[in-house]
Amino acid sequence: SFRQHVPKGLKRPPGPRGYPILGNVLELRKDPHLVLTKLSQKYGDVMEIRIGTRPVLVLSGLDTIKQALVKQGEDFMGRPDLHSFRHVTDGQSLAFSPDSGEVWKARRKLAQNALKTFSIVPSSTSSSTCLLEEHVSKEADYLVTKFLQVMEEEKSFDPYQYLVVSVANVICAMCFGRRYDHNDQELLSMVNLNNEFGEVAANGNPADFIPVLQYLPSRTMEVFKNLNRQFSSFVQKIIQEHYASFDREHIRDITDSLIEHCQENRAGENTSIPLSSEKIINIVNDLFGAGFDTVTTALAWSLMYLALYPDIQKRIQEELDQTIGRERTPRLSDRGMLPYTEAFILEMFRHSSFLPFTIPHCTTKDTVLNGYYIPKDRCVFINQWQVNHDEKLWKDPSTFNPERFLSADGTKIERTESDKVMIFGLGKRRCIGETIGRWEVFLFLATLLQQLEFSLCAGEEVDITPQYGLTMKYKKCKCFQIKKRFPVKSSP
């Protein structure tokens, strides 16, 4: 409906003209987050582009995005029915499927509760504050050992492949109650294909908008479908094992708690929205999938910034030495007392903006935004990168400077500043793993930095240009090096 009817007194959002049939697809071939940021400077916060023949609304500016996702949250909480998303969890994904009705709401609630119970709820059974702390401490300790071992053997290395297994182990522990060895081939073959996932699921993938492209052979699309199948069968196998050993007196992990929920459902104990067992159990697919790529990418960017800015790294380590010392390992409860470390993490989120857009949204009804008419079912891109680099919000946005988040005396985070960083989305579709994500990144980094110093091989050029995708990573970099900060205390 290119020539749609626009009600009297309202305007259609402005935007670049685009070619017939192709629309703006050629302009978007490379780095859509940068192209759309530039276009927004000309056309404004509410802009319409075309990909193929399909119109897409692009939102920029923190106030406009808040207006849409928070104040008009119901209108903008949908997900578009995109070709690639139909392959994620058999088209039933909590995050990617077009459902935004009562079933989605009930599943989101279930996911939030299960996640919380097995991560951040204060623990009664372990010596840790909560299960998340227990899992992350264990994996981070293991990672220190692994890095030292690899450094010894290789003299320089790419930390990514070790980070991804450690982070996957944390979410595996919560979802499935198990961990994997760093050499486990089944896990490695899946987690290493994740760049391909992000490439296809990215905002603006032409095949999602130009139907003819869906019938042409495409290597990335084949990899994407395979990856989703492999992912589902990996999870399916673990679910079957859980069913076989299920004991309702002893709920071990998120999978068990979802199975328990299925059984309550069948027994009619639950009076709310009826959900099929399949749609309950496969929630764990989304949690596992969303839970490792994002956090791994955050840690990979963190290590890169630390190595590129040794003075910033030193200052974090001084803060850790002063607050925690060297006699004990960091804990989640230290977070509030480490403002500089926190400022570094915020700046890493802002500067990298490694999730340049949220997952695409879609309008659920005809609506009006900033005086512009937006019809129902309009696909909407939310440009988080633009918010994090907006000259109106940030001084020298391209400079990496954690201090922008600190109060003048350096003792605390300025909430007015930290609230402007947009990386978890906003409103009804806001990330449900935000607390876990923030805490996990903090505890991994604090544990690594207490013991290790990160650097890059002298004289090597590193290319940190983000590779566009749903999550953006820099190119594989094998020239990381580490040093132990202090000798291990030898027992007498």
Piece of the chain touching ligand HEM by CB under 6 A; list 55-63, 190-198, 397-405, 423-431: 423-431
Phi, psi (degrees; rounded to nearest 5) at 181: -70, 150
Q: Which residue among 207, 338, 355, 446 contacts ligand HEM (CB under 6 A)?
A: 355
Rounded-to-integer distance, Cα 331 and Cα 313, Å: 19
Nearer to ligand HEM, 313 or 353 (CB): 353
Q: Looking at residue 473, what DSSP letter applies? A: B
Q: How far is the CB of 470 from ligand HEM (least distance, A)?
A: 9
- Which among 28-36, 194-202, 260-268, 428-436 is the span making contact with ligand HEM, rule CB under 6 A? 428-436
CA 122 to chain CA centroid, nearest Å: 24
Between residues 404 and 438, which has the closer beta carbon with respect to ligand HEM? 438
Alpha-carbon dihedral of residues 29, 428, 473, 484, nearest 10 degrees? 170
- How near is the Cβ of 382 to ligand HEM at its closest, in Å? 6
Q: Does 431 bind ligand HEM (CB under 6 A)?
A: yes
Q: Which part of the chain contacts ligand HEM (CB under 6 A), choosing from 300-308, 364-372, 425-433, 445-453?
A: 425-433
The reply on whether position 424 binds ligand HEM by CB under 6 A is yes
As beta bridge partners, residue 208 has none
Closer residue to ligand HEM in complex, CB, 28/432: 432
Q: How far is the CB of 2 from ligand HEM (least distance, A)?
A: 26
Piece of the chain touching ligand HEM by CB under 6 A; list 124-132, 147-155, 211-219, 432-440: 432-440
Give the ranges where 212-309 is alpha helix by DSSP (H).
Answer: 219-244, 254-266, 277-281, 283-308
Measured from the CB atom, the residue of 157 and 285 that comes closer to ligand HEM is 285
Which stretch, 8-16, 264-272, 293-301, 306-314, contacts ligand HEM (CB under 6 A)? 293-301
Q: Tell me the Ramachandran region of residue 103: left when phi exceeds 0, alpha when psi lies from -120 to 50, beta otherwise.
A: alpha
Rounded Cα distance between 98 and 476, Å, is 34
* Phi-psi group of 56: left, alpha or beta (phi > 0 → left; psi -120 to 50 → alpha; rest → beta): beta
# residues near ligand HEM by CB under 6 A? 26
Task: State in angstroms the smallest separation of the CB of 303 from ligand HEM.
Answer: 14
Stretch that binds ligand HEM, among 226-234, 288-296, 332-340, 484-492 (CB under 6 A): 288-296
3-state SS assignment for residue 452:
strand
| Among 291, 330, 402, 466, interactor with ligand HEM by CB under 6 A | 291
- A 10 A CB-CB count for 59 gives 27
- 182 C-beta neighbours (distance < 10 Å), count: 17
Residue 338 Cβ vs ligand HEM, minimum distance, rounded to whole Å: 18
> Would you say 24 or 100 has its CB closer to ligand HEM?
100
Stretch that binds ligand HEM, among 16-24, 50-58, 222-230, 436-444 (CB under 6 A): 436-444
> In the chain, how many H helices and how many E strands?
16, 8
**Which residue is nearest to ligand HEM, using beta carbons?**
433
The single-letter code of the amino acid at 313 is: Q
Which of the residues 267 through 286 are near ligand HEM (CB under 6 A)?
286
| One of 80, 204, 437, 469 touching ligand HEM (CB under 6 A) | 437
Task: Cite the DSSP H helix spans in 329-428.
Answer: 339-352, 384-388, 415-418
Nearest partner of 48 among 23, 84, 78, judged by Cα: 23
In sequence order, the β-bridge partners of residue 373 are: 368
Distance between terminal CA atoms of the chain?
A: 79
- Of positions 52, 80, 425, 469, contacts ligand HEM by CB under 6 A: 425
Name every residue whose Cβ is closer than 8 Å to that of residue 339 and which is 6 or more positions away in sequence.
319, 406, 410, 411, 412, 413
Question: What is the C-alpha to C-alpha distance for residues 376 and 363, in angstroms, rounded to an integer?
Answer: 5
Binds ligand HEM by CB under 6 A, chosen from 290, 445, 456, 477: 290
Tokens of 209: 């908008």
Buried b (16+ CB within 10 A) or exposed e, 77-109: bbbbebbbbbbbbeebbbbbbbbbeebbebbbe
Cβ of residue 104: shortest distance to ligand HEM, in angstroms?
7
DSSP string, 363-418: -SS-EEETTEEE-TT-EEEEBHHHHHT-TTT-SSTTS--GGGGB-TTSSSB-HHHH
Between 157 and 361, CB nearer to ligand HEM: 361
Question: By CB under 6 A, what part of segment 95-134 binds ligand HEM?
Answer: 95, 108, 111, 115
Site for ligand HEM in 170-209 (CB under 6 A): 171
> What residues between 62 and 101 interact with ligand HEM by CB under 6 A?
94-95
Q: How is residue 222 written in tokens?
A: 């084949």
Question: Applying CB under 6 A, which residues contact ligand HEM?
Answer: 94-95, 108, 111, 115, 171, 286-287, 290-291, 294-295, 298, 355, 358-359, 423-425, 429, 431-433, 436-437, 441
